[in-house]
A and B are shown apart, each in its own frame.
Chain A
């Protein structure tokens, strides 16, 4: 960006927005040439966006039966009240509904108090808000790798906080180990960075796996020992293929009689599980009253439209609907996942065994010219421009092992997915043939 003319801030002119990373570059290429079965069959298929479109019909059915809720959301008599409503506590009916929904996802194994819910315009804002509250500029947040590329921007840009990666690897399925946590802390110390918290994504993005109970226990012990905060981003908690495979950090906290709960904060949103990213509904759930109060005050910068709250309050409070939705959505995601894994397997591509999320974590290491970031990006580029598939390279997610890629499968129709898998197969065959020839 040109710096001449009227001076702007460092923030405006820095590139910490991270949008030059391949993760976002791929999106731009897709935007310029998006696939459409009828009008643009040779366009780029977007497999780099974790959006859930598989269950829209369920929402549309609900709408057909309850049209007044999706109209302008407010009945005549309550329009005025709704239009004026900007209470940071959120609409009571809505926060209660969100609490209930979060409980349902966890099979009723934990309870959520609506008064501890702080609403934000999306989980992006929730994560940034917590970072502002828990850490000062120059402090560090531990984040296990690979992690969601957006964190580099969302957690660092305006906050001035550093991300300290906790490196995980394929030797144990990328599980977080105590050793990795300790190493990361030691690294931070040597850089004179004060670690203030650990941010987990559970289920993990980009791995598509849930964190096991023993590891969660170990993590809670670790943060307690280090006297730091723990943010558990559980936005994919409703997208676990088998509901009993998900253990929330809230369950660990409750199983310990609420010890250590003052340091645990949950982030949730309706963007993934409910497929409503456009609605901008995120939430922070904290057991810590001070955090709740502070987050609530700061949520002034990122309030959820009162109309949206009203619209969704009824939908989320409808237990019959939500139970059916959660169950059906899980089944469909599971089916998609299995379909993709099979398709990739036919192309000779292995995936990490996943059990959640809108994506799978696949390994194309064999196709790399060299097992480095450059090799990985070169392959990614080829896939984008030749196979016209936008997938996310592991290096964007700070994965130390080259060759891993995240592939999203829930943001398109079944037909498009089939086309994508076909292209993947053709591409890998071509690459393998090339490799054979060059090795002769």
Chain B
């Protein structure tokens, strides 16, 4: 069982628990002192070539030294180059190599590990066929001109797209809140959005508190290059994996004791991987918490438009609108990959109420700008609010149907799911089928599901869930006909356990 304590990230290094925690902490302290002294003296000299930012030495000690041989990689590079044995990525790879197809490859791997929505793409395609006939290259006079598409544009996105996205976000939140284009920075996907925002809010060695289980991708997206630590704050099945402020408080104090500065709380709403929604009261509590600690709140709302069930989605933006909270500490991550089913086009959003964050993020956006023609295409699609309203409605209905079918199928196998109202997956409890009630047992089951049943699901341990046996199962890349096949394959494994 992975040690879910604040030292987890530290322990992932090669050193032992003691060395792995004491030495970097000590070095961190000493380095801070050294850097403070050094910065004062170096500012006097006129050396623009020296980088102004201090970095924690402990990072490079923990990660392995660069690869051996000529022309080594940096420590950062080497740790990325190492093959990822995280089941989340292993499963994705296996599936990609031998994907299921109902007629041409019926024995292939069925992909339940990728949160992509294939259910409503045809709606978008049909709309495009019917509406975007001319190329996107006509200028104001209707003349063919590549100028507008080809030349340098603002790195943080065209204003027209920001306006269209703001409008779309308002529609997604069902008109309960309006978004302002001037508070948007666009990036090539939500992946760089969350990394860029992280760079703005925290320094290397600082930490975010992240209620767990959480999306495995964050371990890469946020930690890799920023040097920020993610501290999982466990949620429990007894209250359907809801966020506990008491647990956040505990984690915050534990971090403080270690000398680690917590800069933000990062939540996903609807939750990935559980699929539950954060209720209004908890949002208030979260805002109170971050205000009291003088830290930030990042709300990743990429699945906001992909909800079903009876609970209404409440964005943190809606709560801010109605109350007098300090908005400067609230930031929303959004994107079109989930709700509009176009992950390939790379459209991500940082929505912030903090003008300094927006200023910094818009400059950082140069490293991950969206291709102009793609922006133009999206402007066309999003501007048709009638189509979008219809699309959002039908998409939700389809999600609801698939979710019901899938959860029902699992129920018949004796597998219960956490109660969820959003996302592309369900959070299934298969703990009764694991041989030993720990991470090892869970991974054994995962392995069987992957390599024997050829079903790729995401084990809870990849998501830092402290209760073994939970699995995230995505159903949005399946057709209705695939579901019985999935259930039958799962049954083969569970009945033998």
Chain A contacts to B: CB under 8 angstroms: 1-2, 5-14, 16-17, 19, 49, 51, 53, 56, 59-60, 63-64, 67, 70-73, 76, 79-80, 82-86, 121-122, 124-125, 128, 132-139, 152, 154, 156-158, 160-165, 191, 196, 227-229, 262-263, 275-281, 288, 290-291, 293-294, 297-298, 300-308, 311
Contact at A6–B80, with CB atoms within 8 Å? no
Q: How far is the CA of A13 from the CA of B189 in the complex (A)?
A: 24
B118 near A294: Cβ-Cβ < 8 Å: no
B residues in contact with A84, CB < 8 Å: 116, 118, 121, 341-344
How far, in Å, is A57 (CB) from chain B's closest CB? 9
Which of B50, B195, B341, B372 is close to A278, meaning CB atoms less than 8 Å apart? B372
Q: A80-B118, A293-B81, A307-B373 are in contact. Are A128 and B220 (CB under 8 A)?
A: no
Is B215 an interface position by the 8 A CB rule? no
Contact A56–B51 (Cβ < 8 Å)? no
Docked Cα-Cα span, A9 to B128, in Å, equals 42
**Pair B49/A163 contact, Cβ less than 8 Å:** yes
- Contact indicator A302/B81 (Cβ below 8 Å): no
In angstroms, Cα B21 to Cα A110, docked, is 50
Nearest opposing residue in chain A for B153, CB measure: A278
The smallest C-beta distance from B122 to any residue of chain A, in angstroms, reads: 7
Whether the pair A307, B345 counts as a contact (CB closer than 8 A) is: yes
Give 10 pairs: A residue, B residue, CB < 8 Å, sorted on A: A6-B329, A16-B53, A63-B135, A70-B136, A136-B76, A137-B51, A161-B51, A263-B71, A303-B188, A308-B373
Contact of A262 among B53, B60, B70 (CB under 8 A): B70
Q: Identify the B interface with A (CB < 8 A).
A: 48-55, 60, 67, 69-71, 73-77, 80-81, 116, 118, 121-122, 124-125, 128-129, 132-137, 144-153, 188-189, 191-192, 195, 199-204, 206, 220-221, 224-225, 263, 294-296, 326, 328-329, 341-346, 354, 356-357, 359-360, 363-364, 366-374, 377
Tell me the complex Cα distance, A311–B364, Å.
27
**Is there an interface contact between B80 and A133, defined as CB atoms closer than 8 Å?**
yes
Please tell me if the beta carbons of A63 and B144 are within 8 angstroms of each other in the complex: yes
Q: How far is the CA of A9 from the CA of B360 in the complex (A)?
A: 10
Q: Judging by beta carbons under 8 Å apart, are B342 and A278 in contact?
A: no
Tell me the bound Cα distance from A122 to B202 in angstroms. 26
Instruction: List 10 additional contacts besides A83-B125, A278-B372; criterion CB under 8 Å.
Output: A8-B354, A70-B137, A132-B74, A133-B73, A280-B372, A281-B371, A290-B67, A298-B80, A308-B373, A311-B373
Beta-carbon contact of B136 and A72 below 8 Å? yes
Q: Do residues B360 and A11 form an inter-chain contact, with CB atoms below 8 A?
A: yes
In the complex the two chains form, what is the Cα distance from A275 to B146 in whole Å? 10
A59–B360 CA distance with the chains assembled, in angstroms: 35
Residues of B within 8 Å of A275, CB to CB, are: 150
Q: Is the CB of A59 within 8 A of B370?
A: no
Shortest CB-to-CB span from A50 to chain B, Å, is 10
For B80, the chain A residues whose CB sits under 8 A away are 133, 294, 297-298
Which single residue of chain B is at the shortest CB-CB distance from A156? B51
> B74 to chain A: which residues have CB within 8 Å?
132-136, 139, 196
Residue pair A72, B377 in contact (C-beta under 8 Å): yes
- State which of B49, B54, B363, B367 has its C-beta within 8 Å of the C-beta of A162: B49
Q: How far is the CA of A125 from the CA of B188 in the complex (A)?
A: 12
Q: Is the CB of B71 within 8 A of A227?
A: yes
Is the pair A16, B51 in contact by a Cβ cutoff of 8 Å? Answer: yes
A124 touching B366 in the complex, CB below 8 Å, given contacts A80-B121, A306-B344: yes
State in angstroms the CA–CA spacing of A1 and B200 once bound together. 13
Asked if A132 and B263 sit within 8 Å, CB to CB, the answer is no
Say whether B128 contacts A278, CB under 8 Å: no
Contacting pair A11 B199 (CB below 8 A): yes
Shortest distance in angstroms between B187's beta carbon and chain A's nearest beta carbon? 9
CB distance from A129 to the nearest CB of B (A): 8
Q: Is the CB of A51 within 8 A of B151?
A: yes
User: Which residues of chain B are within 8 angstroms of A191 by Cβ–Cβ distance?
Assistant: 50
Q: How many Å from the CB of A18 to the closest CB on chain B? A: 9
A305/B203 contact (C-beta < 8 A), A79-B125, A134-B74, A297-B80 known: no
A425 to B93, CA, bound (A): 63
- Nearest opposing residue in chain B for A302, CB measure: B368
With A63-B135, A158-B225 as given contacts, are A301 and B191 in contact (CB-CB < 8 Å)?
yes
Q: Roughly how many angstroms separate A49 CA and B357 CA in the complex, as a whole number?
A: 27
Question: Which of A13, A14, A67, A133 has the most CB atoms of chain B within a 10 A radius of its CB?
Answer: A133
Q: Which residues of B contact A294 (CB under 8 A)?
A: 73, 77, 80-81
Of all chain B residues, the one with the shortest Cβ separation from A131 is B74
Chain A residues with Cβ under 8 A from B124's Cβ? 79, 83
Q: In the complex, what residues of A have CB within 8 A of residue B224's CB?
A: 298
With a cutoff of 8 Å between Cβ atoms, the chain A residues found around residue B195 in the complex are: 301
Contacts of B367 in A (CB 8 A): 121, 124-125, 128, 154, 158, 301-302
Among residues of B, the one whose C-beta sits closest to the C-beta of A58 is B146
- Whether the pair B152, A279 counts as a contact (CB closer than 8 A) is no
The 8 Å CB contact of B73, one of A64, A137, A291, is: A291
Which chain B residues lie closer than 8 Å to A6 at the CB level?
A: 294-296, 326, 328-329, 354
7 shortest interchain CB distances as A-B pairs: A306-B344, A263-B71, A278-B372, A137-B55, A133-B77, A12-B360, A305-B374
When distances are taken between beta carbons in the complex, the residues of chain B under 8 Å from A288 are 71
Q: How far is the CA of A73 from the CA of B354 in the complex (A)?
A: 37
Kindly list chain B residues whose C-beta atoms are within 8 Å of the C-beta of A70: 135-137, 373
Judge whether A11 and B77 touch: CB under 8 Å. Answer: no
- Do A305 and B151 have beta carbons less than 8 Å apart? no
